[in-house]
Chains A and B, each alone.
Chain A
């Protein structure tokens, strides 16, 4: 089913793109217009604009970063027109996509066409609309004329888009545990400007993507700065959470935007050497190291139509710096599928660059003695526990586009260990392990990875005495090293086996709470939370994520 959907998407994409393209599977740069406004649904306007720290300028900054991608050119229209559109849109209460489209057609579309008619703009973008053979024609070679032909103008005018982000709701919600969470729900609408041969214009909605984001307000937060790339600003805990949610929201919209068929990067393979593939797009279009590309072939159906099919998958190993030298190409290594050939098309697989891994395993060699769980002569467990069943969730952010080292991840994982031990007092015993680490992976479809990390292990033992609730906890630093071998089931999903060793240090903090009050700390001698681990896991490459993880690194991507 998934494959069928993918193929349908591919067909739409490859059929729709060659508007101009004289060559199969080439990306023609699109130009976009931002209306510099966020359409806030009427019911949320009071919240967003008045009651709390929703900094609209910051929000626009994040949107600009994540939506105005290098693959686009930017059509600047006068501020007065943007304001006119914004005022009219926000003054309407009953508004739907049809009304918005009409509003666009009557306010900004003509102006965008005027921008596109500007000789300077046309001159600046000329190269985007000229294919290789255009420079071999009589007009180019003898007459030195590089003016637009009608086909190229048709492409220029019909590759302009407008986007409008919207917020359907934004609020702070308090959970039963008393946690305050900022929620932002909304999305983005994309319109395509269509200009016919007679110059008649219209706007057509091509995508309405919705997403949501959240962030917990940490009132104990010590750091009062929010960083995004190389800029940072002072915030209070609420503002921090709002900004955090904004980043997650905008990043998700980026993924949704890149998933639109018209916007997907694609290029023909022009160089092959074994599984090393070269294709003529690069940094100028926003290609980054480790970006994934589907390899698309075409086959003829019984009616003689060329139908695309997924032939394989490749990962970028060297980004072409074509922003400096247009002849530079990007190289990728094919990691899945049958051998690609010259002329096959590389098509972007838009992902966030964040993997979510879930693992289950066994940790052997730990030591939690009954004495470590003892309060007032009662032990939480009956005998020494040396093994744990572990469950682990790990977010891995790919640093490759920042440090220019392929398959290098910074990881943040949270593990929960369940020590295997009998308890006559029906104690609840678990080990929470938040770790930060670095992972380097090698290989292709079958891969190996090594991880080193440092973090905290927090053992918690809760049990009930006849009259009291006892809660004992130990905190200890740990260092761990893991190796992993895995296999890509598909470009976004992999399974793996792992094994490792965790070095558990002596607890630096142990405490006992009796009905919520601190009493004498428990014995922590010989408590050992390290050991040898092994297990299995699955990892999924995320297309969207409602929380902001490592978002501050995104503006640093350059390779």
Chain B
């Protein structure tokens, strides 16, 4: 009899409890309980472990559900750690996608597309694929709000490449390969940032650290599928540089000239130094800059720091550069995304026969301008003198897949305007066309 009584009371309590819980879930349905969206959104990228992996520390939160403080506490006691841990994993992904100065999803369109598919990316199965390592121990685990909520923090290693592949597969963002292809498979060049008047090639030849740094950056870029051109000290190159120098005034920018000469789309310069740190350790500080070759426009600049450690300088060099290169490349990618619509870029320098009268010069310049308008998707005039025209032009890569094609089109269009002048070429590579107009 007594047992039956206890049973009835227990069942009644259970029903009441379930009722309360149901009310609170459907009634308040806290924002924090919204599935598949990280609640905490607090995390830090600790380190680029490799070109494809990053070490992240992320926190996760869980807010207890229930009709009373006690019920919420019980919920946190029972489910809090597990749920907060899932949130921390989501936050780790979130941090890579949205946080920092160079998030993976940089445009509003990408972010909007991601919102549509966030459930897939934040699903525990997906998280398991992206997270290649998770600390056994929590960095911290703290109850909040009188025990009705919990926050945990852990370190994760995320395979960023897998995440990026999924993002492109699901058309959230354009795949890097596609982007590169659309941009005409751009070529990158890596050069040390030499002191004024010093040739980067000489620095490369004489400085072991610089050679190591160049190798690290080149290795990083090749692992990402970029096409790299390695400048070499050749007579041809020297001549090209010399010819560039004649056009510039003041101190020559060797890196720019080499890049231009060998036809890279973007060139990266790097510099660095070892700094004494605490407890007799050394820290390496590396700076990487990325420039658009045709204009020498700075696309991105970033500094990377190694850990302060004893010895192992080359490890520190690579560690610092990994950190910097990744961020700079993200900016370069963003630049390409924006530039994709504009087409493939060329720098066109035209030398006009000296000694012409102003009428002839005008007609030549106007005809050249018209020819550029006919051929290029867009253009920018940099220099216009009686003897020199310096232009940046963007052409459709689908129509003009090589510099010679562009040249041919320009020549045809220019000569069609009947100025009587003849267009020729003195040198040409995939980014630079040095042309002549003879009258």
Contacts and interface: CB of A to CB of B under 8 A. Distances in A.
Given A297-B143, A299-B142, A341-B80, A138 B47 contact: yes
Interface stretch (B197-205, B304-312, B400-408): B304-312
Contacts of A343: 81, 137-138, 141, 152
Given A139-B312, A341-B77, A343-B81, A299 B140 contact: no
Given A139-B307, A268-B137, A344-B141, A199 B152 contact: no
A150 interface: yes
A24 interface: yes
B309 A132 contact: no
A23 B139 contact: yes
A339 interface: yes
A149 B309 CA distance: 4
Contact of A148 (B80, B310, B319): B310
A141 interface: yes
Given A23-B138, A298-B143, A344-B141, A133 B315 contact: no
Contacts of B318: 138, 142-143
Interface in A147-175: 147-151, 153-154, 157
A365 B308 CA distance: 79
B49 A26 contact: no
A153 B142 CA distance: 28
Interface in A303-341: 306, 338-339, 341
Most chain B Cβ neighbours within 10 Å, of A131, A153, A297: A153
Which of A132, A148, A150, A342 has most B Cβ within 10 Å? A150
A136 interface: yes
B280 interface: yes
Given A136-B49, A154-B279, A147 B309 contact: yes
B140 A149 contact: no
A262 B308 CA distance: 26
A138 B319 contact: yes
A145 interface: yes
A470 to B, nearest CB: 62
Given A141-B50, A342-B81, A150 B141 contact: no
A157 B307 contact: no
Contacts of A151: 308
Contacts, number: 126
B234 interface: no
B119 interface: no
A45 B133 CA distance: 61
Contacts of B278: 150, 153-154, 197-198
A22 B141 CA distance: 12
A170 B319 CA distance: 61
Contact of A133 (B135, B142, B281, B309): B135
Among A147, A157, A195, find the residue whose CB has the most chain B CB atoms closer than 10 A: A147
A300 interface: yes
A424 interface: no
A266 to B, nearest CB: 12
A114 interface: no
Nearest to A138: B49
A281 to B, nearest CB: 12
Contact of B279 (A141, A197, A268, A344): A197
A338 B144 contact: no
Contact of A26 (B137, B279, B281, B314): B137
B136 interface: yes
Contacts of A306: 140, 142
A139 B140 contact: no
B143 A23 contact: no
B91 interface: no
B327 interface: no
A7 to B, nearest CB: 15
Interface of B (DSSP majority class): mixed
Interface centre among B140, B147, B151, B314 (most CB of A within 10 A): B140
A339 B81 CA distance: 12
Contact of B47 (A137, A197, A198, A297): A137
B157 interface: yes
Interface in B315-340: 315, 318-319, 322
B279 A150 contact: yes
A142 B319 CA distance: 10
B155 interface: yes
Contact of B141 (A141, A149, A298): A298
B50 A24 contact: no
B55 interface: yes
Interface string B54-96: 0100000000000000000000010011000000000000000
A24 B141 contact: yes
B82 to A, nearest CB: 8
A24 B281 contact: no
Contacts of A298: 140-143
A145 B279 contact: no
Nearest to B143: A299
A153 B279 contact: yes
B213 to A, nearest CB: 14
Interface string A85-123: 000000000000000000000000000000000000000
A145 B139 contact: no
B312 A149 contact: no
A251 B169 CA distance: 67
Contacts of A141: 49-50
B384 interface: no
Interface in B116-140: 133, 135-140
Nearest to B323: A138
B260 interface: no
Given A145-B312, A153-B310, A342-B81, A133 B55 contact: yes
Nearest to A197: B278
Contacts of A133: 55, 135, 155
Given A133-B55, A150-B281, A154-B279, A300 B49 contact: no
B281 to A, nearest CB: 4
B280 A199 contact: yes
Nearest to B157: A136
A8 interface: no
Contacts of A198: 278
Contacts of B151: 300
B55 A137 contact: yes
A444 B243 CA distance: 89
A150 B309 contact: yes
Contacts of A270: 136-137
Contacts of B280: 153, 199
A344 B318 CA distance: 37
A160 to B, nearest CB: 14
Nearest to A344: B141
Contacts of A339: 77
B422 interface: no
A304 to B, nearest CB: 9
B160 to A, nearest CB: 14
Contacts of B144: 299-300
B48 interface: yes
A23 B279 contact: no
B315 A145 contact: yes
Q: Considering residues B77, B138, B279, which has the most beta carbons from chain A within 10 angstroms of its beta carbon?
A: B279
A270 B47 CA distance: 25
A148 B282 CA distance: 11
19 contacts: A22-B139, A23-B135, A24-B139, A132-B137, A133-B155, A136-B49, A136-B157, A138-B47, A139-B307, A139-B312, A139-B319, A154-B278, A199-B279, A298-B141, A299-B144, A300-B143, A341-B80, A341-B81, A343-B137
Given A136-B157, A138-B48, A270-B137, 14 more contacts: A22-B139, A23-B138, A136-B155, A139-B309, A148-B310, A149-B309, A154-B278, A154-B279, A157-B279, A297-B143, A298-B140, A298-B142, A300-B143, A341-B81
Interface of B: 47-50, 55, 77, 80-81, 133, 135-145, 147, 151-152, 155, 157, 277-281, 307-312, 314-315, 318-319, 322
Q: Which 5 A-B pairs have the closest CB atoms?
A: A343-B141, A197-B278, A150-B308, A153-B279, A299-B143
